[in-house]
Structure 1
């Protein structure tokens, strides 16, 4: 089953249906009047279908709004114009004699709702771009010497160079590639990148910038991850940064990530060469991917993947694949694996036992929907490198949680639809690196969750319950004083 969060994410998909149907209904009315055709039944059906889909889209959109990742004021306008569109569509469906009046109002309000929806998804100004962003992006791709103001003194031996890297190079890249998801309009992951204060503040998962150290700055390292990785930025399908733009961000962080104009006095000799264009600097890299190492504490899995591991036994892999177990390498050239049992039809305890031969290589394990019990979970005791474990809709009980809490690298645990209770939940407080646990439709209670959070305030617990939108507390005042 879908979680509340997943259902909310269907809104961008569903919302296109009422837009198309309602506009088609209006077009049918115009066509019927021009051709003097009797299309009353078809027109009524279209308005009814469009109004129904608009109501459904509004309901799903309300769930999406609970994430708090979007600008509250703009969400309010989009929400009410969407509801008004559904209401006007319904009125148009029931109106016969003067249908063109509510129909015209529906189309107008629908256009307004769609415009604000576009702003929320793609950022403000997505429709009528004046070309400034494209110009800035082009400027940011130029070599450093083309973006600096340099003046020689009277002797010609000193070069005074004025650079404002953040304003002239970083902001254009962030605006062109990042603001659509990380600005005042949309704050995905609680992160905004549109001001100095918000960049330094970071997001829900902590800091994204370590001045002077690109290898520990998510703002840079996430750009280098494979596109298939959930943490890769921008997400797969979005316009990616060029190699030159990535180099700009890396060099800016390496130089100290200054948000102010810098003045340098450079002593020149006759043989000095012009300033070279930016290029990617050498960093500590993953031995299998060539990807910069991610920050150690926030990215335990990334640190783990940087360590060498022996190749898994091919006979074991062959046996697992014969049982429809999907085995995927965590990265190109890596020996670490993700094991997925979702497609396994004839599940037996022996299949889980077979995993014991590759316990050092399995980093992620999904046993979703399989008849897995506490006896099967015991076979996972030696999976010291396991970071993510999906046990939703399985038969496990509290007995399994003592063992799972002892896994040293476990970060994500999905217990949705299981029989775990508050007694077992308390055991997870001892899990050393657990970050997120999913408990929707379990036998746990709000009181049990509160006790766990009191013992582990750093833990994120997803219970599937709907939450009210919190006031926007992200409006941080930026100190522009020099």
Structure 2
């Protein structure tokens, strides 16, 4: 025991001298990369000195119940381990504090009180070594307990947000909303507060992203804005939420409270509708999925219908759930299921037919904004348990509505934004329990809706929210019809908007489209090559929509084979050489997608082989830029060509302009010219930046090069 106490005394002195040194010279301390994992052990270790200090307090409080030398030895041992673990936790905490994402004020208080607590624990151990000094032990123990609570308070504020230990009444109270409450405050903010504030608050801004204020949300983090108004598929927030739980980029991180399927659905619907932070609840259509979510939250105590059919197996539901098709029970413990489809570009017709595995449990189906055709109604007609069906803004007409007459339990049908007529509504009259049909923004006029109401009094025909002449609302952005951003001569660019009377203004020269002079979209138009199209929706007595931006590519010639002369990084292998010519575009915020090839240690070097000599005049690389993720434009690009693979001629070498500051993630094109002639072999070399610039957080480290397509024209 003596040897242990001697060794412990030297160790404690050394640790506390190190802590003091680090605290005094903290501005000059540069930690090596291998110490970062040590710092991340701080949350695991900090509970040990807390528990031991509590045990010390209890033993000291009831010391009269113990007698003999054994108690003294036990106290010395526990105090020694307490002081040692407190010093280790403080040291690891100091290492962790060097990482980004924490607010300096609260972090400094937690750091100083934590190191102070370590010194107090060391003092307790030192005092107990001599009997004459033990009279000071009680006040020092009390001071240590106070320091422990204060340190814990600041630590909880860093980890879980301010007010975690002592929440205010306002923070604990549930939000109530009215029709005048902004949708953002009623539906979106509560979700973010419950699932995101913990790591993205004023005290702890992971990824430089502050989510507790609207200004912080709109600004975004180190990877740029977290949503793209009108396009959930390209929105960082939705992409991260839909990643596998095991993926390190999945948000919220594994181990934290996860977003529920309906919460992801609400966020997706809100972003696709334009992410309008000022829209009021009263302006939502009666069949809007966000309104349905709010009504469900508001009336959770309402009695849920009971069903006597057998539930679907968990394996079946898990198999059918995808990032773009979410299936969940309508209530806890209910066998009845609700299905939502998301992201128009990801929809496939067979995904609807796959729901036949749960046709006996499916009571609600939401296909809003999906490219559903008339022929799909025959498939939907097989889901005979359906009580609610949403077909808003789909491609159906009233020609095949009779296929829904088998849905004898259908109570609610949403057809808003589709090509319905008054005559077509007659097919719905045969549905025995149908209570409501939503027909706003269809060719059916207000007068015709009134006639339908008289003709079929058992059914309520809802025309939706009709603004007054004095009220101005903001339009949603235009919707791109094209599902592929790589165009051929037969696939021109096409836009649409669900609201009647809207004019779509667009530009193809990189300028911002204004509301008056920019070209008005009349019909699909062709592009002659790489083009950035910007568009917005305008309408009299409405505020213009946000601008949406789409980057189009065009490939005239397609090689027969692609040989990768250098293998990509094992994490970013894509689908081999074919990745570069399969016309599948990647996403700027998802470089793990198989549409990308990633290189870092060596350059991309690929040989493209054509069937015969081909008159290629230009070669265009589609590259990714995500500066926060160390993904930069290539340092240089070389294009070689010829008809003998052993005797290729250098056509052009480019040194792309490098960024001088952080920018939002995006995809861009780099084009090189080829000398006039016909070539069977073309080799492309793209070299990564060897060392990141001084302004970058990873200065001196090698950059990445990511390429998803190479186009030949």
TM-score (norm 1): 0.56
Matched, 1:89 2:121: yes
CA distance in 2, matches of 1:166, 1:119: 25
Please give the residue correspondences for 1:137-156 in structure 2 after superposition, counting only pairs within 5 Å.
148-149=178-179
- SS of the residue corresponding to residue 460 of structure 1 reads coil
Please give the residue correspondences for 1:285-324 in structure 2 after superposition, counting only pairs within 5 Å.
285=346
- SS of the residue corresponding to residue 387 of structure 1 reads strand
Gaps (5+ residues) in structure 2?
1-31, 129-133, 294-339, 352-482, 487-567, 580-593, 608-620, 627-632, 638-655, 660-688, 702-713
- SS of the residue corresponding to residue 23 of structure 1 reads helix
Please tell me whether the aligned partners of residues 133 and 175 of structure 1 are also in contact (alpha carbons under 8 angstroms).
Answer: no
1:95-117 superposed Cα distances (whole Å, 9 cap, x missing partner) = 13222221221122112111211
Matched, 1:9 2:27: no
1:81-131 superposed Cα distances (whole Å, 9 cap, x missing partner) = 111111111111111322222122112211211121122112223234468
Higher relative contact order (CA 8 A, sep 6+): 1
1:215-239 superposed Cα distances (whole Å, 9 cap, x missing partner) = 1111222111111111111111111
Matched, 1:387 2:598: yes
| Change in CA separation of 1:45 and 1:337 when aligned onto 2, cut-off 3 Å | same
CA distance in 2, matches of 1:274, 1:386: 40
Matched, 1:200 2:200: no
1:409-461 superposed Cα distances (whole Å, 9 cap, x missing partner) = 8999xxxxxxxxxxxxxx984499999xxxxxxxxxxxxx997416xx66834
**Matching residue of 2:188:** 170
CA distance in 2, matches of 1:57, 1:388: 39
CA distance in 2, matches of 1:408, 1:254: 26
**Matching residue of 1:109:** 147
CA distance in 2, matches of 1:73, 1:405: 51
Please tell me whether the aligned partners of residues 184 and 194 of structure 1 are also in contact (alpha carbons under 8 angstroms).
Answer: yes
2:79 aligned residue (40, 47, 50) = 47
1:239-263 superposed Cα distances (whole Å, 9 cap, x missing partner) = 1112221122112212221222438
Higher strand proportion (structure 1 or 2): 2
Please give the residue correspondences for 1:148-297 in structure 2 after superposition, counting only pairs within 5 Å.
148-149=178-179, 162-262=180-280, 277=292, 281-285=342-346
| Change in CA separation of 1:6 and 1:263 when aligned onto 2, cut-off 3 Å | closer
- C-alpha displacement of 1:31: 3.2
**Matching residue of 1:159:** none
- C-alpha displacement of 1:266: 9.2
Matched, 1:27 2:65: no
- SS of the residue corresponding to residue 208 of structure 1 reads coil
- SS of the residue corresponding to residue 244 of structure 2 reads coil
- SS of the residue corresponding to residue 84 of structure 1 reads helix
CA distance in 2, matches of 1:411, 1:433: 12
Please give the residue correspondences for 1:347-426 in structure 2 after superposition, counting only pairs within 5 Å.
386-387=597-598, 401=602
Gaps (5+ residues) in structure 1?
140-146, 150-161, 297-335, 341-354, 362-382, 390-399, 413-426, 436-448, 464-482
Please tell me whether the aligned partners of residues 133 and 176 of structure 1 are also in contact (alpha carbons under 8 angstroms).
Answer: no
- C-alpha displacement of 1:166: 0.9
- C-alpha displacement of 1:136: 4.0
- C-alpha displacement of 1:206: 1.7
How many residue pairs are counted as aligned between the two chains?
Answer: 327
Please tell me whether the aligned partners of residues 202 and 208 of structure 1 are also in contact (alpha carbons under 8 angstroms).
Answer: yes
**Matching residue of 2:682:** none
| Change in CA separation of 1:213 and 1:452 when aligned onto 2, cut-off 3 Å | closer
CA distance in 1, matches of 2:46, 2:634: 40
| Change in CA separation of 1:79 and 1:264 when aligned onto 2, cut-off 3 Å | closer
1:73 aligned residue (86, 105, 108) = 105
1:274-309 superposed Cα distances (whole Å, 9 cap, x missing partner) = 98625554343399xx9xx9x99xxxxxxxxxxxxx
Higher helix proportion (structure 1 or 2): 1
1:20-43 superposed Cα distances (whole Å, 9 cap, x missing partner) = 222222222223234445411211
1:139-167 superposed Cα distances (whole Å, 9 cap, x missing partner) = 7xxxxxxx552xxxxxxxxxxxx451111
Answer with 176-185 or 204-213: which moved more.
204-213
CA distance in 1, matches of 2:95, 2:34: 11
- C-alpha displacement of 1:197: 1.1
CA distance in 1, matches of 2:344, 2:88: 49
Please tell me whether the aligned partners of residues 387 and 410 of structure 1 are also in contact (alpha carbons under 8 angstroms).
Answer: no
Please tell me whether the aligned partners of residues 388 and 410 of structure 1 are also in contact (alpha carbons under 8 angstroms).
Answer: no
- SS of the residue corresponding to residue 165 of structure 2 reads coil
- C-alpha displacement of 1:57: 1.5
| Change in CA separation of 1:86 and 1:163 when aligned onto 2, cut-off 3 Å | closer
**Matching residue of 1:453:** 693
2:96 aligned residue (43, 54, 64) = 64
Q: Over alpha carbons, which structure has the higher Rg?
A: 2
- SS of the residue corresponding to residue 210 of structure 2 reads coil
